[in-house]
Structures are given as C-alpha cells and as structure tokens.
Copies of this chain bind each other. A is one copy, B any other.
Amino acid sequence: MKITVESLWSDIVNIRQQSPLVHNITNYVVMNTTANALLALGASPVMAHAVEEVADMVNIAGALVINIGTLSERWIQAMSRAAMQANQQGVPIILDPVGVGATAYRTTTASELLAAAQPAIIRGNASEISALAQTGAKTKGVDSLESSDAAVASAQQVAAAQQCVVCVSGATDYIVDGKETIRIKNGHSMMPKVTGLGCTASALCGAFAAVNPAPLMAAAHAMAVMGIAGELAAAQADGPGSFQMRFLDALYNLTETEIARRLNAA
C-alpha cells in the first residue's frame, strides 16, 4: 500500500465530516493536549477510565486509545476491560506503551494488555518498540535511546507476533505490518521538546482508524499529519511554547494544498 495526498486528504475530510468519537484512556500529562489535537483535527475526544463505564463508552466509540504513561492498578483494570470490549465490538484499539522497558511494571502491563486483546496499531518510540520485542533495549524514562534501524527490525517482529500494525516514531517514522514498511520523513526537531506529541500521534491514529479500516494506512496518515503540522508549526514558532500553540492551529487549518506541498512518504 502507498500513502498519497489523495488517500490522506480523503481521511481528513471524513474525520471532519463524521467527527468520530475517540475514547482515550490515557495519561494525566497529555489529556488536555491530546483532546485539543483531536478536536483541531475534527474528531470528538472523550476521556473515561472508570471500570464501571469504559465498556459503555467503547460501545459508542469509533476507536479506543490506550496509553500507559501514568499507570495504576484501577486504570490497568479499566484498560483491560475496555480493550476486551473493543475487540468484541470491532472497535480498533491503538496501544501506546509509554516508557515500556523503563520499569518492570510498565513492561508487565504492556504484556498483559497484549494478552487480553489485539490492538490494530501499536505506536511508540524506538526504545519502546525494541523493549516490546524483548531485545533488551533500554528506555530512559519515556524518551528513546535506541537507533531507528534496530527498532524497525523490532517493529516487524512485534507486528508479526501481535498481528497488528506497529509504528515507530522518530526523525523518520516507520509504519510496518510484519511485511510492508511505510516511511514518513515529515516532522521537525523541535517536536521532542514538547511533552506528549508521541501520545498525540497515538490519539490521531485513533481518529484515522475510526474512519479508515486499514490500520497501516490509518497509522501512516496520522504520522504524516503529525509531521506536516509540526513543520507548519515550527515555521512560526520561537520555541516549544509557541510551537505547541501553532501545532493546534496548523492541524485545524490543514489544507490539501499544504499536504501536497509537504508530504514526504515512501
């Protein structure tokens, strides 16, 4: 499969028209910013984490985004419950294994979630994806220390094992399904200086997965939009504070012309 201006623009139009409900069980750090990114793109975010209500919320959602950035026992139970319901209902799951490899708790939780339900897309940085592949990679808190090359091999391994799409984000984003690899070279070096843009990428994967039944294309479209909005934001930013603001403006104002000018995918 190949990502084109037309395939990407078509998904954006659908998100803006359908405004799919994206159910997020995510970390405290990024709840506000990922909700705003989903709104700016055209989707309808909801955050709900109580074991008592996650199944009901999944039932009306177009996608479920699970992000393990700030874990605790009750949240893990809710993630598991929501994930099983999503599989049962055919709602695509996006898993963001934040900081997996940094602590045993995160590594165990990621394994348990993968045992409980099958995600459509796993998105992480190079360290996280390598840790998922159990290559002994080290994660420094929530930031990446691994090379992208090693991570792509890990990603293909995880994709084959979990039968899902895996996205490794970095200077170049790699989106793989166990066989094919899509590379997105959009983005800007200031992006790692804003907290939670990786989490935002996962949230946008949810919006695209809600309108596009092919997870490989949904993930690639999400990463391309992240990168293009990042380039547009950087062009008007004086630092990470103004970048963050311009990024939301760019997502909101994205046009087919701008995408055609900037898309750098292979």
Interface residues of A (CB under 8 A from B): 19, 21, 23, 27-33, 35-36, 39-40, 44-50, 52-53, 56-57, 60-61, 69-74, 99, 102-106, 140-143, 192-196, 237-242, 244-253
Contact = CB atoms under 8 A, between A and B. Distances in A.
Number of copies: 3
Contacts of A143: 19, 44
Contacts of A141: 21, 23, 44-46, 57, 60-61
A30 B194 CA distance: 15
Contacts of A49: 70, 72
Nearest to A99: B46
Nearest to A71: B50
A32 B195 contact: yes
18 contacts: A19-B143, A29-B31, A32-B32, A36-B244, A39-B195, A40-B240, A44-B140, A44-B143, A47-B69, A48-B71, A49-B72, A50-B71, A50-B105, A53-B71, A57-B141, A60-B140, A241-B245, A244-B248
A194 B50 contact: no
A93 B110 CA distance: 29
A46 B196 CA distance: 11
B103 A53 contact: yes
Nearest to A106: B53
